[in-house]
Chain A
Amino acid sequence: MPTEILNQDFENIPTEEEEKAQVKRAKRPIFIFAGIFGGLLVILLAAAIFLGLNQGKITTQVKPTPTPTPTPEFKEEIIAPSPYATDEAVLKMEEEVKKLDQELTSADLKESGLNPPVLEMKIKFEK
């Protein structure tokens, strides 16, 4: 250990000024990176502002799209209604049955998305 200290080159010990210059040199890439990044950000902001200002000038063309046409629902009219045609309980039941009927029609009885995965089970290392 002491030999190491003796071997030290005292003539080349950097002065305070040299040290500062070294620190500055080390920081240079950070400044360059920050400068480039900042520059890019400014360019992007400028582009965004420019496009934003020009947006008002752009004439938007509204494409004609067909409006959804309601499908006619068949409603059987009762010509001679009974006293129960306006009964609250009957109307409520009618609504419930109609809802259930729709659920029955739209029910997914295949659940094909749940079919088991296709797996290759044969592993062999022979020709």
Chain B
Amino acid sequence: MKKILSGFLILLSLSIIHYPLSIPLARAQEFNFSRAYNDYLFNYNQYRQSYSEYIAAREAYLSYQTLTSKTQALEKTLKMLKDEDEVIRNYLTALRMKVAETTGISNDEQNILYLKLDNEVTWYTQHKESLNSAATLEDLVASGKKIAEKYQTTEILIYQTLGTILSGKETNFRNQLSDKIQKLKGKIGEIRQKGDKDTSLSERWLLEAENRLTRSQEKQFAAQQILAKIKSSDTNKSKSYNQAQFALEESHQYLKEASSYLKEVLREIKSAN
């Protein structure tokens, strides 16, 4: 009986042990944007939860003014501020990973952004640690003001980074189109030399495609200018970002036109005079 029982217990414990073994395998996955983004979403949900708890504790304290409600308010405010630091830190990390994975951003641009984002991440990490020394509600209110002030400048970096990510995408598309134009130019030159087909129409389409690339570049530059002008005192920074995004959409439209012109060039090459 004892042997059966011990065998049964071993089997049971093995089946329990087997399940957690699969977890480290999943955790061993490399840290990329997708993972950083999921971390950020998780922390954001946690922050929303702790914020509502802070509101409830604050209301209770303001209504009853008891020692218990004050202790509760202190505890919940501390947690909410810590989660706030954590959510910003995770969001900035996700942005950093997105910058790393976006093709079209130059190495110089990437390095500058990494440096700025890392500095911000360090600030929020240190701020979170400093919260442990807060003993009163007044300390926490002062700490909260500090984050609010800091976030004014962080927001600028956020919008500029987002703009750089979108610009990077545009640059990548434009580079690809430019490469195709060069290839087609070579082919058209070859056809012209053979003299068995009129290439003037194809050359005109190519010229138009090149013009669209220039216009797209101009629009992208305009977007970057808008983002560069954002100040920490601006109350509505997202408005400037939306304007920049609109300019980038216009830039993209020119790229689409350039692509359609390339299709025209190819159709023209394939058709007899």
Contacts and interface: CB of A to CB of B under 8 A. Distances in A.
A125 B270 contact: no
Contacts of A115: 162
Interface residues of B, number: 64
B207 interface: no
Contacts of B127: none
Interface residues on A, range: 35 or more
Interface stretch (A9-17, A45-53, A63-71, A96-104): A96-104
A26 interface: no
A73 interface: no
Contacts of A101: 256, 259-260, 263
Given A38-B8, A105-B256, A110-B245, A123 B77 contact: yes
Contact of A109 (B145, B151, B169): B169
B271 A109 contact: no
User: Which of A31, A96, A105, A109 lies at the interface centre, i.e. has the most chain B CB atoms within 10 A of its CB?
Assistant: A109
Given A82-B272, A89-B187, A121 B147 contact: yes
Nearest to B261: A97
B259 A100 contact: yes
Q: Is the interface of B mostly helix, strand, loop or mixed?
A: helix
B156 to A, nearest CB: 11
Interface in B72-90: 73, 77, 81, 84, 87-88
A75 B273 CA distance: 20
Contacts of A117: 40, 44, 47, 87-88, 91
Interface of B: 5, 8-9, 12, 37, 40, 44, 47, 51, 58, 61-62, 73, 77, 81, 84, 87-88, 91, 94-95, 98, 137, 140-141, 144-145, 147-148, 151, 155, 158-159, 162, 165-166, 169, 173, 176-177, 180, 183-184, 187, 191, 196-197, 245, 248-249, 252, 255-256, 259-260, 262-263, 266-267, 269-273
